[in-house]
Amino acid sequence: MESTQQSMKLSKRSKWSYSLGGIGRDMTYALVGTFFLTYVQYAVGLTVVQFSVIGIILIIGRVWDAVNDPIMGAIIENTKGKWGKFKPWILIGAVLTAVIIVLMFNWRPMGNQGWNYVIFFGIIYLLWEIAFTMNDISYWSMLPALTTDEKERNSVTTLAVVFAGVGAFAANAGISFVTVGNAIKGYSMISIIIAIFLIGCQLLTVFGVKQTVQTTGELKKEEKVNLKKMVNVIRKNDQLLWIILAMLLYNIGSGLLVALGYNFIYMELGYNGLLALIFVACFGVSNIGVQAFYSKLANKFGRKRLLWISFIAIAFGYLLLLLTGILPILPVNIFTVCLFGIFAFGGQAIFYMILTVNIANTVEYNEYRTNERNEAVIFSLRPFMVKMASALQQGIVTLVLTTSGIYALSQNINFLEKQKAYFDDLNVTEQAEYKQNLSDRKFILDQDEFKDLTEEEKEKYYDILEATSYNEVDGKEEMYINESADANFKNEASPFMRWYLRSTITVIPTLLIYFSYLVLKKKYIIDEEMYKKMVGEIQARKIE
């Protein structure tokens, strides 16, 4: 008799160690995935052409990274050792990623009119993708190996996604509050803090989780996973193919608001860290609050009905945002924006949970049809779709920011951020000289990229700086730039810029998520009843 597929009860220690590990991971992903382009826009200072090249690098890098994800899945499948096939890559990927993100936000090679930074960006972003892929695929591939019990899987998936949401919320809140008005020093400090959290959380997963499901490769000598087999695993699993298409559509749609949301806040509400923090808090409470009840909601309504409810909430939320400022009852302020967020973010949280559970269930579907699980190959498709979606998002974001004129206008804030970092590092005597030079309209722009400015351009920057104020801290002064930023960005934005941006983050996401819903409704067949049937037959087959 062959060994059976064993699934002991998942211990609380393993459940919590796995789930808590997601906090540092998603803090890291939020820092790079959401804020790296914002950091370049507001804290680095590149020409429109250089920024466009950055956008192209992001697209190419994401596509290349997505293509490599299944290959990483195959490498994980072929890994043998006393730590299993997941944990070594979780740890290696976490340590390398931590080192890279510290370099990302602390090293600023700016010579040669910014092209040196473009080259640096291309190299460091490639290294980030390689390192994070190691960790990302191995971490999520471990999920189906924790348990095959449907209720336990729903529970651990809920907990993992909730803590991932906690990490994303903590990162968004901290970054928004610390970097607005202090971008250069803020990003430097926050990157180091997140790097420490990443390693700490992933060590908890590596040493705290005990895998309870013996994978096919542990039960018998499994055929080595090569490129041909990897392609066959994906090609023959029709439910996997449909779910990754749904994930692609959803991730493009939901990611546009995240990618362009801070530009929306700065343009509509103001360059204010507190306002950004309130918006992020709304995002976090909506996501985490709804996800915490996913198991109960799924048990009560079933995944298909819950999917429809979540889409209605998403569509209603985006409609509210689109109409703010048009309807008298919906003025543009932090309260109406947060009202929109409660519906849209809450609905997206449920939609995402259903997608995560659905792709996990395709592992059993694969075993049901082929007698092999291939968790790593199957779960490599989740980040594959995330990254393909991100590639398309970055293209859309770059296109919107450059063709609308928003990027060019935002360089007024970039200039202020650089001058603040420069001024705050001066001693008391140098600060007094700086302020006197500004009053006398003398040349004070010491950065290389400002040396060749025309007199007219210099006058523009003098005017921008004159709207700043100063606060005394520990005997020195600190420059306060928020009012000047609003005067030279929010108040200067044209109606065309505002509506171009708003339609991109409302209409397009609603349509894409609706198409994702249609794919799941019409093509995905693994409901609760079918899942139980598959697991039962797999167990019976092993016993025989």
Give the mean model confidence (pLDDT) for residues 457-470: 85
* 327: β partners: 324
Q: What is the pLDDT of residue 220?
A: 43
Tokens coding 178: 């610390």
| CA–CA gap between residue 157 and residue 356 (Å, rounded) | 8
Q: Kindly report the average pLDDT of the chain as a whole number.
A: 84
Collapsing DSSP states into helix, strand and coil, what is residue 226? Answer: coil
Confidence check: pLDDT of 376 > 70: no
Q: Which residues contact 472 (CB under 8 A, 6 or more apart)?
A: 478
CB 28 within 8 A of CB 194: yes
For 209-224, write each residue's pLDDT tens digit.
876 554 444 444 444 5
**Helix (H), strand (E) counts: the chain:** 23, 2
Confidence check: pLDDT of 435 > 80: yes
Of residues 53 and 391, which shows the higher confidence score? 53
Burial of 125-146, coded b for 16+ CB within 10 Å and e otherwise, reads bbbbbbbbbbbbbbbbbbbbbb
Q: What is the pLDDT of residue 129?
A: 87
Q: What is the pLDDT of residue 222?
A: 45
pLDDT tier at 316 (50, 70, 90 boundaries)?
A: very high
Q: What is the pLDDT of residue 218?
A: 44
Give the mean model confidence (pLDDT) for residues 77-85: 77
Alpha carbon 322 to its chain centroid, in Å, reads 23
Confidence check: pLDDT of 251 > 70: yes
CB 63 within 8 A of CB 177: no
Give the mean model confidence (pLDDT) for residues 38-54: 90
Q: What is the pLDDT of residue 5?
A: 41
CB 384 within 8 A of CB 251: no
Q: What is the pLDDT of residue 379?
A: 67
At residue 528, what is the residue type? E
pLDDT tier at 39 (50, 70, 90 boundaries)?
A: very high
Name all domains of the chain by residue range, CATH numbers in brackets. 12-208+238-411+494-543 (1.20.1250.20)
Across 95-109, 139-153, 382-396, the highest mean pLDDT is recorded for 95-109
Confidence check: pLDDT of 421 > 80: yes
At residue 420, what is the residue type? K
| CA–CA gap between residue 543 and residue 472 (Å, rounded) | 75
CA distances from 417 to 122, 208, 266, 420 (A): 23, 43, 14, 5
Confidence check: pLDDT of 400 > 90: yes
* 213: β partners: 7
CB 272 within 8 A of CB 482: yes
Burial of 164-173, coded b for 16+ CB within 10 Å and e otherwise, reads bbbbbbbbbb
